[in-house]
Amino acid sequence: MYTVVHAVQVADNPFAREAKMHKLIAKTQFILKRLDPAFSGDGWHERIVWRDEFLAGGYARIDDATVNAVATAKKQLELDLETTYTGKAMAALLHDLVHDAEAADVDCERCLFWNTYNAAPLPVSAERPQTFDGIPDEFERYYSHQETLVGQAVNRVT
């Protein structure tokens, strides 16, 4: 599935800049390719959209769009968001869905808001699964050869 990630800026420059994000992604791709030469992250430049129009004046500052996004998420989606990070991301998504989905290259039929702001424990065990039945085929190689991949990574780093 073709995926586009919208990275919403939440911190001021020089802490958060588009060029810095691209550098970190390139480093991550390099590390992943060293661990698994079959890994392909080709074309990621076209699939990352930097969004700075929802910064709301700076880190931990809010504006009407952020406040409205947090309220909408609570009322319509039962999501508890905060205004520093997730509220700004939701403001961007709601803006795109309502105002200019075509201009923002948003597929309004398939959008995902990934809410990572949560300190609640996961409803799954941290124990290694006995089987890999629920793992997609393309990821199975990472689990069936996990010890080998981890060993290779350690050897390359040391």
Predicted confidence at residue 99, as pLDDT, reads 75
pLDDT of residue 113 exceeding 70? yes
Nearest to 49 by CA among 87, 99, 93, 94: 93
> Mind listing the domains of the chain with CATH numbers?
5-123 (3.40.50.1100)
**Does a cis peptide bond (omega within 30 degrees of 0) precede residue 14?**
yes
Is residue 31 pLDDT above 50, yes or no? Answer: yes
pLDDT value at 6 more than 80: yes
Q: Tokens 């609570």 correspond to what residue?
A: 74
Percentage of residues in the chain with pLDDT exceeding 90?
42
Task: List the alpha helices (DSSP H) in the chain.
Answer: 18-35, 64-77, 86-98, 137-144, 146-157
Between these two residues, 104 and 47, which has the higher pLDDT value? 47
**Which residue did the predictor score with more confidence, 68 or 105?**
68
CA gap 51, 89 in Å, rounded: 9
pLDDT confidence of residue 23: 93
The predicted model scores a pTM of 0.71
* pLDDT at position 150 over 50: no
* For range 56-83, the mean pLDDT: 94
> Confidence band (pLDDT; 50, 70, 90) for 50?
very high
56 near 66, Cβ under 8 Å? Answer: yes
Confidence label for 144 from pLDDT (cuts 50, 70 and 90): low
Closest to 94 in 3D by CA, of 157, 21, 6: 6
Rounded Cα gap, residues 50 and 68, in angstroms: 22
pLDDT at 158 over 60: no
How many whole angstroms separate alpha carbon 143 and alpha carbon 133? 11
> 119 or 133: whose pLDDT is higher?
133
Mean pLDDT of 88-100: 87
